[in-house]
Amino acid sequence: MPFVELDTSLPAERLPPGLAQTLCAATADILGKPAERVNVTVRSGLAMVLSGSAEPCAQLTVSSIGVVGTAEQNKGHSARFFDVLTAQLGLGPDRIVIRFYPLEPWQIGKNRTVMTFL
């Protein structure tokens, strides 16, 4: 069950229509998970500083069970997420940062239990 959170200083009107759905489909493809399990949040118009600069930027946080736990996995994921983000946001790769967080099934609550028991 991947969670993807995009924070950006870009105003909402500069984001492409359907960005959350695009990120959902891209995440499913990149991480090899069903789109029905992907959760996406997009927050725009934030006051942000990246690498000491307040120029337009974005931070993507990717959390998931089993697919973001190694440097090798995340190197491949990073390249693919950067391709999506630079195309969708019109930002250079130097204005985007990605953070990966591995999750355990017991850390995700769903249907009144945790993923361990589903």
Please state whether the predicted TM-score (pTM) of the whole model is above 0.85: yes
User: Residues 9, 57: contact at Cβ < 8 Å?
Assistant: yes
State the residue range of the domain holding 21: 2-117
Instruction: Count structural domains, the chain.
Output: 1
Q: What is the DSSP letter of 52?
A: T
Q: Using CB atoms within 10 Å of the CB of residue 6, give its burial: 0 to 12 exposed, 13 to 18 middle, 19+ buried.
A: buried
pLDDT, tens digit, for every residue of 68-106? Answer: 999 999 999 999 999 999 999 999 999 999 999 999 999
Banded model confidence at residue 36, pLDDT cuts 50, 70, 90: very high
Banded model confidence at residue 58, pLDDT cuts 50, 70, 90: very high
**Residues annotated as catalytic (active site), given as ranges:** 2
List the CATH number of the domain containing 68: 3.30.429.10
The number of residues in the chain equals 118
